[in-house]
Amino acid sequence: DEFQDTNTLQYAWISNLAGSDANLFVVGDDDQAIYGWRGARVENIKRFESDHAPVEVIKLEQNYRSTQTILSAANGLIAHNLDRHGKNLWSDGETGNPIQLYAAFNEQEEARYVVEQIDQWVAAEGQRDECAILYRSNAQSRSFEEQLMQRGIPYRVYGGLRFFERAEIRDALAYLRLIANRNDDAAFERVVNHPPRGIGNRTLELLREQARRLDQSLWRSAADASSWGLSSRAARALQGFAKLIDEIDEQTRHQSLAEQIETVIQLSGLVEHFNNQRSEKEQARVENLEELVNAGSLFRPPEEEEELPLLSSFLSHAALEAGENQGAEWENCVQLMTLHSAKGLEFERVYLTGMEEGLFPHNRSIEEPGRLEEERRLCYVGMTRARRQLVITHAESRRIHGESMFTSPSRFVSEIPAACLEEIKLRGQVAEPLYRPEFSQDSGYRLGQSVSHQKFGEGVITGIEGDGARQRVQVQFQQVGSKWLMTDYANLTVT
């Protein structure tokens, strides 16, 4: 079973075991071969017929899970892959609703939309555990977690940890805590030898004894390591770490929060450490660290903490979000997971998010035809997790290293038959905006004002709502129609 996931050695083993005369029966789906990154070879299922001729191929095309609309969309997408066995999924059940396609103006609004939809589903007596939010990169979970927590909706990260509980995030936060407070011994112990600096357990035991003897912090004892009898090598390593913390502190003193986090993950060696390992898993850790930078750029302290240093408030926020709130396996809660984790599962409603070029398909796959086809198979797997309703979302801009960057919809969206899709337009089609002052003191924008946007071109402001960091404007663009844009990120030029 799952023959498409066999590696080269497993294929050779089963072929030799079967020999030339024995019967060999394998079950697999080349359209669901998504584990090439861990050694699986889709070529095994492709070459089976020639290696073991004569072969009878039995195609299982009737599907008992999804509506015909979802199956037709998946069929249309996967048809763009070459050299398939080829099959056409069908169902004798209902045709079903169109697949909903929603374009958000950034990843925050994308998460807000998805969570609002889930909230409405639950209010209509739907179950939370019938909803799954799927994403290509584990780092994407943070925005959805934040929205779910704000609304008090229980959720579970299936097959993984919540964002602020992930090891690499805890590492980065420990560096930040140590910069903020040299007396934080727990933070010191977490990162003093991570990445590895040649500081062994015996050295740490001696360091703890010295700190207890003098009633001082581990960091202080490390800074003075050359004065209390350690070997010269151990003393240099400890003092080097203490000096590194001082240097990071000095460099970040006048930086923004996002810049502080970026400096920490670079100068600490965390990014280099994970990049050097070059595995898919370690690259996901780098993406999580980059998402932490984005979290810093978006962070706004609550009113009661506005007098605190921004870093202290952020660390407090991170500690709260890493609390014991993960939904249990048996609990009725929303399911969040990567597309790889979703294989073999099914849900009433599936939200397939982050459908943008460079994110899905992933940047690492775009230039290699084989890997691009595997990305398409991964999308096919995600789409066919849905029983009754599939919602596809993408953002028109997304933060990368703390900076807002314009994005393009994934090529996979255009490969889905248009007859299967329904584009969702919210307030962009409303004649009367929710908030219509003649002039907004907050941003300087006013109704009827002509503006220009780097991506969307020339347009006219037709609506304004909100204020401060939450303010947005509705612009009727000449080329792309009406869009809502956050004023903080839109970079509109008055013309």
For the four alpha carbons of 124, 128, 131 and 134, in that order, the dihedral sign comes to: positive
Instruction: Classify residue 413: in a domain, yes or no.
Output: yes
Mean pLDDT of the 335-364 span:
95
Number of domains in the chain: 4
Same domain, 192 and 140: no
Instruction: Tell me: do 450 and 488 sit in the same domain.
Output: yes
Give me the mean pLDDT over the 352-378 stretch: 92
CA neighbours within 13 Å on the CB side: how many for 82? 4
- Which residues, 6+ apart, have CB-to-CB distance to 418 below 8 Å? none
Q: Which residue has the higher pLDDT, 371 or 469?
A: 371
> Are 403 and 296 in contact, with CB atoms under 8 Å apart?
no
CATH code, domain carrying 255: 1.10.486.10
Structure tokens at 408: 């393009």
Which pLDDT score is estimated for 413?
Answer: 97
Check whether residue 139 and residue 172 sit in a common domain: no
Identify whether 83 is part of a domain.
Answer: no
Residue ending a domain, among 319, 346, 361, is: 319
* Residue 469, pLDDT score: 63
CATH number at residue 329: 3.40.50.300
- Mark out the alpha helices in 253-304 (DSSP H runs): 257-267, 270-277, 280-298
Is residue 401, in this structure, part of any structural domain at all?
yes
Cα distance between residue 109 and residue 395, in whole Å: 8
* pLDDT, position 432: 35
Give the pLDDT confidence score for residue 323 in this predicted structure. Answer: 67
pLDDT at 21 over 80: no
Residues 208, 304, single domain; the answer is yes
Other CB atoms within a 10 A radius of the CB of residue 280 amount to 13
Average pLDDT over residues 330-351: 94
- List, for residues 53-85, the tens digit of each pLDDT value: 888 899 999 999 999 999 999 999 999 998 788
State the burial class of residue 15 (Cβ atoms within 10 Å of its Cβ: 0-12, 13-18, 19+): middle
Based on the domain organization, do 357 and 411 belong to the same domain?
yes
CATH number of the domain encompassing residue 481: 2.40.10
CA atoms of 425 and 432, how far apart (whole Å): 15
Q: What percent of the chain has pLDDT over 90?
A: 61
In total, the chain counts a number of residues equal to 495
pTM given for the model: 0.81
- Residue 430 pLDDT > 60: no
What pLDDT score was predicted for residue 327? Answer: 67
- Residues 226 and 363 placed together within one structural domain of the fold: no
Distance CA 254, CA 309 (A): 12
Of 256, 290, 319, at which residue does a domain stop? 319
pLDDT at residue 427 tops 60:
no
- Looking at residue 440, what is its pLDDT? 41
pLDDT at res. 258 = 93
Considering the domain boundaries, does residue 69 fall inside one?
Answer: no
Shared domain check, 271 and 196: yes
397 assigned to some structural domain: yes
Nearest C-alpha neighbor of 404 from the set 490, 494, 322: 490
Lowest mean pLDDT among 148-162, 202-216, 292-306: 292-306
Domain boundary among 379, 408, 424: 424
Residue 67 forms part of a structural domain:
no
What pLDDT is stored for residue 466 in this prediction?
64
With pLDDT > 70 as the criterion, what percentage of the chain qualifies? 94
Same domain, 270 and 309: yes
Note whether residue 73 is domain-resident: no
Model confidence at 103: pLDDT above 60? yes
288 and 202 belong to one structural domain:
yes
Q: Is the pLDDT of residue 331 over 90?
A: no
User: Is the residue at 434 inside a domain?
Assistant: yes
Closest-CA residue to 345 (of 122, 65, 137) = 65
Q: Output the pLDDT for position 325.
A: 56
Q: Is 267 exposed, middle or buried (0-12, 13-18, 19+ CB in 10 A)?
A: middle
**Domain range for 42:** 3-58
- Do 215 and 304 belong to one domain? yes
Check whether residue 232 and residue 108 sit in a common domain: no
> In this structure, are 186 and 172 located in the same domain?
yes
